[in-house]
Amino acid sequence: MREPPSTRAPTRHDDRLIIHFDYDCFYAAVFEAENPVLKSLPLAVQQKHIIVTCNYEARRRGLHKLQLINEARMTCPDVIIVLGEDLTRFRNASKELYAFLKSFVWSQKAERLGFDEVFLDVTDIVDYNLDILNHNSLPDSFFHLGRSDPTLGFSYDASCFAGNTFPAASDENEPQPMFTSFPKTDSSEATDFDRLELRLRLGSHLAQYLRHQLEEQKGYTSTVGISTNKLLSKLVGNVNKPTNQTTLRPPYSPTSGNAKSNVLSFIDDHDIGQIPGIGCKLAHKLRNYVLGREPQFDEGLVWGGTKENVKARDVRLFPGMSSEVLNEVLKGPGSHKDTGVKVWGLLHGVDDTEVAKARSVPRQISIEDSYLRLDTLTQIHKELLMLTSSLIRRMHLDLTEPEDDGNVFDEDEGIKADTIDTSRRWLAHPRVLRLTTRPRPPVQADGTRSRSFKRISRSTTLPSFVFRLADSIETIAEKLVNEALLPLFRKLHPETSGWDLSLVNVAVTDMIETASDGKGGGGRDIGRMFRRQNEVLKEWKVIEQDMAPSPHGTDEQHKAEDRMEMISNDYENQHQLNTHKGSEDDLFYTQTTTVEDESQWDSDEVDSHIGNACNICGATMPSFAMIAHERFHLNPD
């Protein structure tokens, strides 16, 4: 009777509507989009010695992911194999599709997971449409995609789901609880159920619309899941693939009658390792626990045949199971504090993590390569140079934007051919440079190779000369290798020789955003942002941005504005959109001087005699006061 609260099912929160996109065989689709002839042919993408993915025509002929090249050629001699080791085209396509999907959401909540998955939180759009739904004519509904333009949207039938559902729609004459006309009741239980049902229906129609737009306008098909959180929407999408969508249908909680929660029956059938958030380490610990850890080490005891598969229900219903037990079972080096609580939630389909808001800049950029053998300083130097050059290029691509305001004109007498674009400005300055290697473990005396394929790393402050836009990438890279990376390498490998590296990674992290608004920047703490900006930036200029377009625009303009209203400042977009029309942000900051010597800002003490002028009101004050002062202008409350 008196179960501790933690052994009961955690509380579900089903008031959101989350759509999960997974582009079908993405790498192959990118090549198909570039060359549509490939669509009808068996196509495989190669990295090193394996097929990393292949299109469905190739799969029909027996190929699959992560297959060896030789094996693939034997299975399907006429397969077209393209090299996909350079990720640039995939990254660009991924950003383009992401920007496209994001342009539909109002909340800015659009999260990319890898190159080929996107979560959208469309709760606000769906609830908006839910509230204006005519319950007496559900089949003739209109889905509004913009708040201000009532013509922007599409017709749909709100009396049913679009696409597949889980469980599948009962084919026979339905005990369907829903009708073409929707009764409003005051019974709270019925209302909650009805509202969830409708929310999911609307979400399924929006998902179908977006899927079709993605295919028609961008040429990519996708597999989509619709539910109330990231876990469920991602998992349920897998039920019908490819080029399809699935909505997890109610009831999500056991009803007062006898109906079981569809969430539980859905999750229960999954192998423990299939649940996002439960990786191989956690899955291993969970299997050991429910199968019994001891029998592994007792010689005689073979545990009841081979029950290799442990399902979510096996863990959830294991005698005595609770979040506390899971916390104990799953703790250890590398595990997080409340892993058990998190996993206990996942086993019940509970996942309260938010869809991350679109960020203006990535948190880190890293470039790595793997090697059969890397053991001379000459080779190291050469590889570091290549990696660093790529890294600088990525930094320019992802961390700068065109300076399209009053020109930073070149007063120099002519521009050198190998200089890079100086008419750009930095959106963020990484503070830290990190070098990571993976040493190949030495062969041991007993002949067996030790299996520690671990990475080791050292980091340092990123020198500010990498931000000089006038210098060539090669110049910067060489300087960075000599002055920072080789010292880090010596720290990492004090031995003068004898190392054998299988991997080298160079990364910049700890982005200090030079962004403008607290909104498009991804909801960072503004005060912290300014504090950190003041660590590296000396002088700021505040500029009035053109305000919103005229209120008497055409329909086309309105549609564009509706679509554009939330895509203001995302780094994915910077390269596709060079104008920001209709942004709600009225201020942004332009860096005019980069401090060459950062050390003067390193101290905890802020030099109070260094004055900054506010370009809004003209006031002059010390840097530390500018923090609060600028916040004052940003936030009139």
Q: Is 350 in the site for DNA (CB under 7 A)?
A: no
At its nearest, how many Å lie between DNA and the CB of residue 273?
Answer: 7
Stated as kind and residue range, the H or E segment containing 144 is strand 141-144
Exposure string for 448-477, b = 16+ CB within 10 A, e = fewer: eeeeeeeeeebbeebeeebbbbebbbebbb
Closer by beta carbon to DNA, 50 or else 610: 50
At its nearest, how many Å lie between DNA and the CB of residue 160?
Answer: 29
Question: Binder to DNA among 434, 519, 563, 580 (CB under 7 A)?
Answer: 434
First to last CA, the chain: 51
Q: Per CB under 7 A, which of residues 142..181 are in contact with DNA?
A: none
Question: Binder to DNA among 8, 212, 336, 382 (CB under 7 A)?
Answer: 336
Residue found under tokens 């920001």: 580
Q: Is 114 in the site for DNA (CB under 7 A)?
A: yes
Q: Which listed range, 101-109, 248-256, 313-321, 329-337, lies at the site for DNA (CB under 7 A)? A: 329-337
Q: Cβ of 428: how many Cβ atoms within 10 Å?
A: 24
Question: Binder to DNA among 66, 83, 417, 547 (CB under 7 A)?
Answer: 66
Question: Binder to DNA among 2, 184, 454, 609 (CB under 7 A)?
Answer: 454
Question: Binder to DNA among 2, 337, 552, 609 (CB under 7 A)?
Answer: 337
Closer by beta carbon to DNA, 416 or else 455: 455
The span from the CA of 21 to the CA of 105, in Å, is: 14
The span from the CA of 174 to the CA of 582, in Å, is: 48
**Nearest Cα to 347, choosing from 312, 309, 322?**
312
Asked if 540 and 590 touch (Cβ cutoff 8 Å), the reply is: yes
Task: Write phi, then psi, for 86 (nearest 5 degrees).
Answer: -80, 115
3-class DSSP assignment, residue 528: helix
Q: Is 227 in the site for DNA (CB under 7 A)?
A: no
Q: For the window 463-502, what string marks contact with DNA as x by the rule CB under 7 A?
A: ----------------------------x----------x
Question: Binder to DNA among 62, 163, 219, 362 (CB under 7 A)?
Answer: 362
Q: Is 389 in the site for DNA (CB under 7 A)?
A: no
The span from the CA of 344 to the CA of 585, in Å, is: 41
Give Cβ neighbours of residue 152 (< 8 Å, ≥ 6 apart): 144, 145, 146, 558, 559, 562, 563
Q: Is 451 in the site for DNA (CB under 7 A)?
A: yes
Q: Is 47 in the site for DNA (CB under 7 A)?
A: yes
Stated as kind and residue range, the H or E segment containing 115 is none
3-class DSSP assignment, residue 512: strand
The span from the CA of 274 to the CA of 270, in Å, is: 6
At 69, list the tokens.
């090249």
Question: Binder to DNA among 9, 33, 41, 50 (CB under 7 A)?
Answer: 50
At its nearest, how many Å lie between DNA and the CB of residue 60?
Answer: 22
Q: Is 611 in the site for DNA (CB under 7 A)?
A: no
In this structure, is the dihedral angle defined by the CA atoms of residues 547, 553, 557 and 558, taken in order, positive or negative? positive
Closer by beta carbon to DNA, 13 or else 336: 336
Q: Cβ of 410: how many Cβ atoms within 10 Å?
A: 12
Q: Per CB under 7 A, which of residues 17..46 are in contact with DNA?
A: none
The span from the CA of 252 to the CA of 260, in Å, is: 8
At its nearest, how many Å lie between DNA and the CB of residue 570?
Answer: 12
In DSSP notation, 11-48 reads PP-----EEEEEETTHHHHHHHHH-GGGGGS-EEEEET
Q: Is 380 in the site for DNA (CB under 7 A)?
A: no
Q: Is 48 in the site for DNA (CB under 7 A)?
A: yes
Question: Binder to DNA among 117, 517, 570, 630 (CB under 7 A)?
Answer: 117
| Size of site (CB under 7 A) for DNA | 58
Give the DSSP letter of residue 286. Answer: H
Q: Is 278 in the site for DNA (CB under 7 A)?
A: yes
Closer by beta carbon to DNA, 195 or else 313: 313
Q: Per CB under 7 A, which of residues 537..566 are in contact with DNA?
A: none
Q: Which listed range, 115-123, 147-155, 208-216, 304-312, lies at the site for DNA (CB under 7 A)? A: 115-123
Closer by beta carbon to DNA, 453 or else 632: 453
At its nearest, how many Å lie between DNA and the CB of residue 184?
Answer: 39
Q: Is 275 in the site for DNA (CB under 7 A)?
A: yes
Q: Is 450 in the site for DNA (CB under 7 A)?
A: no
SS (H, E, C) 599-623: HHHCCCCCCCCCEEECCCCCCEEEH
The span from the CA of 506 to the CA of 141, in Å, is: 53
Q: Which listed range, 7-15, 189-197, 361-369, 414-422, lies at the site for DNA (CB under 7 A)? A: 361-369
Q: Which listed range, 33-41, 100-108, 366-374, 559-567, lies at the site for DNA (CB under 7 A)? A: 366-374
Asked if 221 and 215 touch (Cβ cutoff 8 Å), the reply is: yes
Closer by beta carbon to DNA, 205 or else 234: 234
Q: Is 334 in the site for DNA (CB under 7 A)?
A: yes
Q: Degrees (nearest 5) of the Cα angle 43, 46, 47?
A: 160
Q: Per CB under 7 A, which of residues 280..299 are in contact with DNA?
A: 280-282, 284
Closer by beta carbon to DNA, 146 or else 340: 340
**Nearest Cα to 574, choosing from 392, 406, 427, 430?**
427
**Nearest Cα to 203, choosing from 14, 52, 406?**
14
Asked if 400 and 392 touch (Cβ cutoff 8 Å), the reply is: no
Q: Is 456 in the site for DNA (CB under 7 A)?
A: yes
Contact positions vs DNA (CB under 7 A): 47-48, 50, 52, 66, 85, 87, 113-117, 234, 275-282, 284, 332-338, 356, 359, 362-370, 394, 432, 434, 451, 453-461, 491, 502-503, 505, 507
